[in-house]
Structure 1
Amino acid sequence: MTTLPPFHLAIPVHDIEAARQFYGGVLGFGRGRSDVRWTDWNVDGHQVVTHQVDGHTAHVAGTNPVDGHDVPVPHFGLVLSVERFQELAGQLREAGTDFVIEPYVRFEGEPGEQWTMFFLDPSGNALEFKAFRDPSQLFAV
């Protein structure tokens, strides 16, 4: 599997302090540069920046059926190792996170078998984290 360079993603949040508690405290991502209305996060080597936008309410445009579940769209997230996925799922459960889709194995026994979970941040942004039993199956058809 080819290692890609880090990506950068900026997301709007309605409350920067709630975002700091969630991304730093619950998810455990390292905090980088910040100011009164924004914070950089080290999301497993990728840069995600939360920007406070007054009055912002995240909008899930809809859902798409995938493997018997309604996947929220739009969403973002990362592909993790299975070990890191299980660790993060445990952190989220400990924090009392309400999952949109509980952690489970999707496409079991098929090409692209993967663990996946969906949840919302405090501003309603949908996040997905997944892990492939066999990372070479990331783009399997």
Structure 2
Amino acid sequence: MKALITTLFLICSITLSAQSNQFAGAYSRSLSEEGKHIIEYKLTLNQDGTFVFHSYSKLQGGTPPEENKYGKGKWSVKDNMITFSANKKEDFDEKYTLDFNNSTARFVAKNPRDKSDKVVKTKLQFLESEINWMRRIDVFRI
């Protein structure tokens, strides 16, 4: 009986770690207008449940003209919805100032059962965030 319970526990933990592996990785988005504006977003979801985010913008005539913003914290997944959180004491300092608490994103990928030629880029689509400009932003898997 103990062996059966141990085996079931092992199978469940392997399944859970395999699910987080499908979400972990690097995501990016670059918006630019030749010679005028550059906006780049880079998000890395680590397999240990942590994340790092970097936003770079260079806007012609902007104040300031060039800006870097950073955020980090933890992420978790439930039903293709990724929830981000940040600990005020551990994840914030002079460099990491973006607060990802209460931010959620939907993981979008082609269904493995879909055998059509339709191309679906794997992405995270931010649905909610206290960072106003993060709402409705899509970042694509690299």
- Structure with max Cα Rg: 2
- Bigger relative contact order (CA 8 A; separation at least 6): 1
When normalised by structure 2's length, the TM-score is 0.25
